[in-house]
């Protein structure tokens, strides 16, 4: 433990709490280069990616390993690098780790998922199990969040790459989609576009999904994505559905110009909720632990733009209130994940990035 702070969870919400939850914030690790994703083992150890190209082991006691070897070199350019990380559901038995990273092929680059077996500080038997096609000359919107569902299928988010937003309406490529593959990269035969040009596609019409998690109450996959200027969304994935980008959106271009005058159309899913102005969301997890019993069932999302951790209270699939936490830290929150002991971990996005552990006072 390097430092402990006292933070009050007071702040905006649609329905203010009568009593604020007080939080202990512990700096577990510092000095990471733009930490991007974190995933936990059952013993409390974790793997953390650094966008600048590293994968590190973080022990439950706070020891940070040297970079784990074995993965291909990441294309660290723009928003690219070493990004999403997940463990196989049977990790205790097979030690399989999945990493999504941007990889260059000459002057073009794109997202790839690689799987390897963790042995000491090395990934062995590394295998490329998914490649987003086609690679293009863009440094933006790689997506790269990873989650497994209850059937041990792997969901991978893929952005529109910034310059290919119209292609998000085309399920025959990997721009602006979420794909679903088996744990070895093969394609489930019940995928909605199985037999087509991009059989891995599960849903389309996304801009850049930067948060993805499984709802523990029913197994559904939830995502959020960066809108343009306004229009960040939370969505519940449904097989084969179109989520509208860029045909419908609640946002505008960064220069204020209109993308579309439509916010809804037949055959296109509406978001569960959206933010305007944008909060620049990143990372997402449901809370089920006992450290904060009053937060059970809440959804947590990091905000890069406004530098807080957003607590979202739900009634089923309806958002009833939101509360920004950790604003006093003034840190861009890149990822959030519940640890096995019920504490919450967050990653701060900077060249001197931190891993923070939240517990109750």
What pTM did the predictor assign?
A: 0.95
Q: What is the pLDDT of residues 162-201, one digit of tens each?
A: 999 999 999 999 999 999 999 999 999 999 999 999 999 9
Residue showing tokens 């609640």: 250
The residue from 88, 114, 140, 141 that is catalytic is 141
**pLDDT grade, residue 6 (50/70/90)?**
very low
Q: What percent of the chain lies above the pLDDT cut of 70?
A: 95
Work out the number of other CB atoms within 10 angstroms of the CB of residue 82. Answer: 30
The kind and range of the H/E element at 94 are: helix 91-94
- The answer to whether residue 11 scores a pLDDT higher than 60 is no
Q: Which two tokens stand for residue 144?
A: 């790269």
pLDDT tens-place string over residues 288-309 = 999 999 999 999 999 999 999 9
> Rg of the chain over CA atoms, in angstroms?
19
DSSP per position, 68-94:
PB-SPPP--STT-SEEEEEE-TTHHHH
Tell me which residue of 62, 105, 98 sits closest to 80, measured CA to CA: 105
pLDDT at 19: 54
Mean pLDDT of 268-287: 97
Query: What is the chain's mean pLDDT, rounded?
Result: 94
> 199-221: per-residue pLDDT in tens?
999 999 999 999 999 999 999 99
Beta bridge pairs of residue 98: 86, 115
Domain boundaries defined on the chain: 4-360
Percent over 90 (pLDDT), the chain: 94
CATH of 4-360, one of 2.120.10.30, 3.40.640.10, 3.40.720.10, 1.10.10.10: 2.120.10.30
pLDDT at 20: 82
pLDDT-wise least confident of 14-28, 62-76, 245-259, 292-306:
14-28
pLDDT higher than 70, residue 142 = yes
Q: Using CA atoms, how far apart are residues 161 and 79, in angstroms rounded to an integer?
A: 10
Element containing residue 26 per DSSP (H, E): strand 22-32
Asked whether 154 and 90 are in contact (CB, 8 A), the reply is: no
174 is catalytic: no
């Amino acid at each position: 433990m390097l430092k402990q702070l006292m933070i009050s969870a007071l702040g905006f919400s649609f329905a203010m709490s009568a009593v604020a939850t007080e939080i202990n914030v512990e700096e577990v690790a510092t000095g990471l280069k733009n930490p991007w994703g974190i995933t936990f083992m059952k013993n409390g150890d974790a793997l953390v990616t650094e966008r600048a190209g590293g994968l590190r082991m973080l022990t439950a006691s706070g020891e940070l390993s040297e970079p784990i070897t074995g993965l291909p070199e990441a294309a660290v350019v723009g928003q690219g690098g070493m990004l999403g990380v997940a463990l196989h559901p049977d990790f205790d038995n097979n030690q399989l780790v999945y990493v999504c990273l941007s990889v260059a092929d000459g002057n073009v680059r794109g997202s790839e998922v690689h799987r390897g077996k963790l042995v000491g500080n090395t990934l062995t038997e590394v295998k490329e199990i998914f490649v987003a096609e086609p690679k293009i000359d863009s440094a933006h919107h790689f997506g790269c969040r990873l989650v497994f569902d209850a059937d041990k299928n792997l969901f991978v988010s893929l952005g529109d790459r910034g310059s290919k937003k119209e292609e998000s309406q085309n399920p025959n490529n990997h721009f602006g989609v979420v794909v679903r593959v088996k744990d070895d990269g093969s394609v489930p035969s019940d995928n909605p576009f199985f037999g087509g040009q991009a059989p891995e596609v599960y849903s389309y019409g996304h801009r850049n999904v930067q948060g993805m998690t499984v709802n523990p109450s029913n197994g559904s996959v939830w995502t959020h994505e960066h809108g343009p200027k306004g229009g960040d969304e939370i969505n519940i994935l449904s097989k084969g559905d179109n989520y509208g980008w860029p045909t419908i959106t609640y946002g505008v271009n960064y220069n204020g110009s209109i993308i579309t005058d439509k916010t809804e159309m037949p055959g296109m899913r509406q978001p569960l909720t959206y933010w305007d102005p944008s909060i620049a969301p990143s990372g997402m997890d449901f809370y089920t632990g006992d450290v904060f019993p009053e937060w059970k069932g809440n959804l947590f999302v990091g905000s890069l733009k406004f530098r807080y951790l957003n607590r979202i209270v739900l009634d089923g699939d309806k958002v009833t209130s939101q509360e920004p936490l950790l604003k006093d830290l003034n840190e861009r929150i890149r990822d959030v994940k519940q640890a096995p002991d019920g504490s919450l971990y967050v990653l701060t996005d900077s060249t001197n990035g931190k891993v923070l552990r939240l517990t109750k006072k």
